[in-house]
């Protein structure tokens, strides 16, 4: 199955628009769903992940960037959720040691810097690639690619 069967591009005109997309997607997620959040430094990956996580927390709590811890775990209204920032991951094997491979099936996973996963990248993942509009630093362009098995989820987001 192609990983890029479904594809769309969305323009997010403000941080609030990114938050709204994250909240919309959050209502559709279940354990086993993996979102790969790619894009350069400051592209908005953590802003998106934080908004999504906060929308699924029964009791509000801080959602720090997992820059140094690599992984943060949450209990959400949709089930267990892992938020990872793999920028500092040296080797994909470290991801296995962190328990990420197992989390891909048992939790909702939001993964920043997913290129570090190499061959561990789950084939069923949804890819979201963020970039900053060169003409307006409040604007983000996000390209979403999903396998056809995730069509229902994809359609909720791209609608």
6 or 117: CB nearest Mg ion: 117
Minimum distance from residue 112 beta carbon to Mg ion (Å):
5
User: Within a 10 A sphere around the Cβ of 48, how many other Cβ atoms?
Assistant: 26
Q: How far is residue 136's CA from residue 108's CA, in Å, rounded to a whole number?
A: 32
Binding residue for Mg ion, selected from 12, 18, 38, 45, defined by CB under 5 A: 45
Minimum distance from residue 84 beta carbon to Mg ion (Å):
10
42: partner contacted, choices ligand ATP, Mg ion, none (Cβ within 5-8 A by kind): ligand ATP
Residues 52-111 that bind Mg ion (CB under 5 A): 65
Q: Outline where DSSP puts E strands in the chain.
A: 6-12, 34-38, 71-76, 79-85, 108-112, 126-132, 140-146
140: partner contacted, choices Mg ion, ligand ATP, none (Cβ within 5-8 A by kind): ligand ATP
The Cα angle at residue 115 between residues 135 and 76, in degrees rounded to 5: 90
Which pairing describes strands 6-12 and 34-38: parallel, antiparallel, or unpaired?
unpaired
Residues 75-104 that bind ligand ATP (CB under 6 A): 85
CB 143 within 8 A of CB 128: yes
Q: For ligand ATP, what does the binding mask look like between residues 16 and 55, x meaning CB under 6 A?
A: -xx--------------------x-xxxxxxx--------
48 or 154: CB nearest ligand ATP: 48
What residues have CB less than 8 Å from 82, skipping those under 6 apart? 71, 72, 73, 74, 100, 103, 107, 108, 109, 110
Q: How far is residue 19's CA from residue 51's CA, in Å, rounded to a whole number?
A: 5
Interacting residues toward ligand ATP by CB under 6 A: 12, 14-15, 17-18, 39, 41-47, 65, 85, 112, 138-140
Interacting residues toward Mg ion by CB under 5 A: 45-46, 65, 112
């Amino acid at each position: 199955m192609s990983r890029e069967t479904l594809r769309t591009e969305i323009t997010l005109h403000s941080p609030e628009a990114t938050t709204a997309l994250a909240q919309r997607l959050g209502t559709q997620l279940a354990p086993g769903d993996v979102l790969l959040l790619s894009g350069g430094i400051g592209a908005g990956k953590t802003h998106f992940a934080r908004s999504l996580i906060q929308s699924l927390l029964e009791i509000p709590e801080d959602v720090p960037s997992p820059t140094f811890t690599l992984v943060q775990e949450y209990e959400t209204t949709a089930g267990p959720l892992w938020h990872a920032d793999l920028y500092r991951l040296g080797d994909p094997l470290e991801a296995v040691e962190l328990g990420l491979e197992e989390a891909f099936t048992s939790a909702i996973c939001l993964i920043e810097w997913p290129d570090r996963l190499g061959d561990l990248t789950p084939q069923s993942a949804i890819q979201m690639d963020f970039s900053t509009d060169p003409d307006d630093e409040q604007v983000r362009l996000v390209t979403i690619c999903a396998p056809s098995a995730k069509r229902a989820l994809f359609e909720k987001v791209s609608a």
